[in-house]
Structure 1
Amino acid sequence: MTDEPGNGPFDVIPEDAIRDGSATDAYFLRTETTLDAADRNPHVVAEVTADQFPTGEFEVLAGLKDAAHLLEGLPVDVDAMPEGRLFDGGPVLTVEGRYREFARYETSLLGFLSHASGMATNALEARVAAPDSQVLSFGARHVHPSIAAVVERSALLAGLDGFSHVAAGELLGRPASGTMPHALVICFGEQEAAWTAFDDAAPEDVPRVALCDTYSDEKDEVIRAAETLGDDLDSVRIDTTGSRRGDFRHILQEVRWELDARGFEDVDVFASGGLGPAELRELRDVADGFGVGSHVSNAEPVDFSLDIVAVDGEPAAKRGKLSGKKQAYRTRDGGHHVGLARHDGPADGEPLLEPLLRDGELVREFELDEASERALDDAAAVDFRE
């Protein structure tokens, strides 16, 4: 059996197709052909927005680094909010230039921003639900492997403490986290042999985290793991499937009690398996850390659109959209405001759209830690999901 003509072994759009703009919707290429035939190429202002007016539901801007590199080198000016900024209505990014120069890039531009922003928003929900706990991203297995780094970068941007995907870690320059799956225990056939073998084989800098719910009661396995590894044990992980979980909070309380009763007060309890913000809020006082997977990776993308709002200096927009170039502001009370760029903003308003590209040249750097700090500060300022 052979692959279809022109296809490689994996269904992955090559980077060259993204860069040359062929990773696009067909009607943009038809638009180019039509504009060329009509010898028309107006100067436009186009804005990326999710909601026209503030709704009270803040989301996190992510994916901007990829978006900037997509448009880099084109003869356009771009303003955008910084990565990690929380927004609520109005533009998050503005492109100015001849429409023909960037039309075909709309599909990829929106894809970069929409998917990452959705995942970052959900990751921030998890972060604020358990602000004092270690929270790791375990969701890469739920997405196409070609975008695993997007998942993990979005999680880090929102303030999560780490992630599990090795290749994503190599791309991002961050180490991946993780110890043992149920498969390792099953390969040995019994728990003590698996825990001991892992302790013997794993590098010294890898925490000794024993998975304690493969074959028997969680309390039973936790006690056995503590007795087997002794002072080498750093943490126990409970990942019981939803179909067998019962009262997860009670299980974790019981596990904590039994560890403390045997002198293992320093051993942490880590919980994973289908957890979201509601579960983290319920369990954050009885667990030291969490793995969050599908809540981040399966997040609904932010429904961004790119719309022309001015043509050759005159306001213009389709129905349902607001014409004219805009600016968004954050006020000291955490409010989000949108107004025409030519008008003054609120007296105490901080303009959120800043230069990103000037005539195609990138004029901003991207620091992931700074974006994460910005997201957490903004979350506190606007009472995100409180």
Structure 2
Amino acid sequence: MSDRFDVVSEAAIRDGTATDAYFLRTETTLEATGKNPNVVAEVTADQFPTGEFELLAGVKDAAHLLEGLPVDVDAMEEGRLFDGGPVFTIEGRYLDFARYETSLLGFLSHASGMATNALETRLAAPDSTVLSFGARHVHPSIAAVVERSALVAGLDGISHVAAGEMLGVDASGTMPHALLICFGNGNQEGAWRAFDDAVGDDVPRVALCDTFSDEKDEVLRAAEALGDSLDSVRIDTTSSRRGNFRHILRELRWELDSRGFEDVGIFASGGLGPDELRELRDAADGFGVGSHISNADPVDFALDIVEVDGEPVAKRGKLSGKKQAYRTADGGHHVGLARHDAEGEPLLQPLLRDGELVREFAVADAARRAGDDAAAVGFED
């Protein structure tokens, strides 16, 4: 039976057939002519620093892609910010890694784009709970990539169950509008109470309060129905009915406080990005951000040979010679030839030596680096 879903297998990624055809034809040509030079290849988005930083993610998958090949790899750590120069360097015989370029760039490009947008939302509301709600906007086979990228950027949680199982993180989320609709207009209390009775004690009691009637009406009804059990209300008002969303959230806070429900939080979701979070962060306690993360443009990485058998060489428009990138004391980003010492912290560090992985990957460490680097380079400005 043929595969039911259009998903390239892990086996195809591992054996290198998840690639562009011209790499396999390059292999055939080089093998036929007995050529297999020792090369240095670098992954870059911009040749020179631009001042516009992006967040590196996807390094774990890229490392496992090349693990076991007879190559040495240096790379920036996940969670570092870069604005030019190499983020990933491979040294070895070209035919030992040529066919893996397509998957390598895909791992780094897609995850880094989503992580960068997630970092924008994290810094737009630094004191708020921010959750990733973006998995529904992508092919389910990469849901874990979306969620891991969000966590690398420092978001507080994710929504996708299977991705959470892969990442060792409990998925967040309480109820959709479908639950309220199943109980029917006028019986929202029945839905909220049924949820409270059915789910485990470890699940926060967050009532969705904008399904059939005015947000204020449903919020106050939920507070009365669940009383002290209610942790938060979620407002996910459709944009066509939203009006002044900030005013709505402030009004809800006022009405809850005036009735003694000061401890009930307000959580907002629905098409939110950094601009909305900056506007709403003093009116809500938390946010769900989806499409701004999952629909991010991939970083336009390319892989280029910069040395052949020890001699600097590069295609037109690229910089020849093996390089190092540095974080300077003032938060700058400097790129220079690797054989020259420069002031600053070297960012390209050993990842693989003769195919053996020499680094561990912890999402919490990457998120810490992202926060530190963002402060150092002024990413939040």
Give me the TM-score of the superposition, normalised by structure 2.
0.99
SS of match in other structure, 2:92: strand
SS of match in other structure, 1:295: helix
Q: Provide Cα deviations, 1:181-201, integer angstroms capped at 9, x if missing partner.
A: 000000000211110100010
Give me the TM-score of the superposition, normalised by structure 1.
0.98
Quick one: distance in 2 between partners of 1:367 and 1:50?
25
Structure-2 residue corresponding to 1:129: 124
Quick one: distance in 2 between partners of 1:384 and 1:241?
31
Output aligned runs, 1:228-239, within 5 Å: 228-239=225-236
Output the amino acid matched with 1:191.
Q
Output the amino acid matched with 2:13.
I
Quick one: distance in 2 between partners of 1:153 and 1:367?
11
Quick one: distance in 2 between partners of 1:265 and 1:212?
17
Quick one: distance in 1 between partners of 2:2 and 2:314?
40
Selected match of 2:146 from 146, 151, 168? 151
SS of match in other structure, 2:143: helix
Quick one: distance in 2 between partners of 1:362 and 1:169?
24
Q: Provide Cα deviations, 1:1-60, integer angstroms capped at 9, x if missing partner.
A: xxxxx7300000010000000000000000000000010000000000000001111001
Q: Provide Cα deviations, 1:224-262, integer angstroms capped at 9, x if missing partner.
A: 000110110000000001111000000000000000000
Q: Provide Cα deviations, 1:86-133, integer angstroms capped at 9, x if missing partner.
A: 011000000000001000000000000000000000000000000000
Output the amino acid matched with 1:94.
T
SS of match in other structure, 1:22: coil
Output the amino acid matched with 1:48.
V
Selected match of 1:12 from 7, 18, 29? 7
Unaligned runs of 5+ in 2: none
Q: Provide Cα deviations, 1:314-367, integer angstroms capped at 9, x if missing partner.
A: 010000100000000001110000001111112xx0000000000001111111
Structure-1 residue corresponding to 2:99: 104
Quick one: distance in 1 between partners of 2:304 and 2:311?
14
Selected match of 2:306 from 286, 306, 309? 309
Quick one: distance in 2 between partners of 1:24 and 1:89?
26
Selected match of 2:282 from 280, 285, 294? 285
Structure-2 residue corresponding to 1:274: 271
Quick one: distance in 2 between partners of 1:376 and 1:151?
19
SS of match in other structure, 1:236: strand
Output the amino acid matched with 1:54.
P
Quick one: distance in 2 between partners of 1:37 and 1:241?
61
Selected match of 1:173 from 168, 171, 177? 168
**How far off is 1:301 after superposition?**
0.3
Output aligned runs, 1:200-349, within 5 Å: 200-346=197-343, 349=344
Quick one: distance in 2 between partners of 1:173 and 1:254?
38
SS of match in other structure, 1:196: helix
Unaligned runs of 5+ in 1: 1-5
Output aligned runs, 1:46-125, within 5 Å: 46-125=41-120
Q: Does 1:381 align with 2:371?
A: no
**How far off is 1:385 after superposition?**
3.6
Quick one: distance in 1 between partners of 2:353 and 2:227?
60
Runs ≥4 in structure 1, deviation > 6 angstroms? Answer: none
Output the amino acid matched with 2:371.
L
Output aligned runs, 1:16-35, within 5 Å: 16-35=11-30
Output the amino acid matched with 1:202.
V
**How far off is 1:67 after superposition?**
0.3
Quick one: distance in 1 between partners of 2:232 and 2:58?
34
Corresponding residue pairs, total? 379
Quick one: distance in 2 between partners of 1:331 and 1:36?
44
Quick one: distance in 1 between partners of 2:62 and 2:280?
37
Quick one: distance in 2 between partners of 1:383 and 1:207?
35
SS of match in other structure, 2:97: helix
Quick one: distance in 1 between partners of 2:42 and 2:93?
14
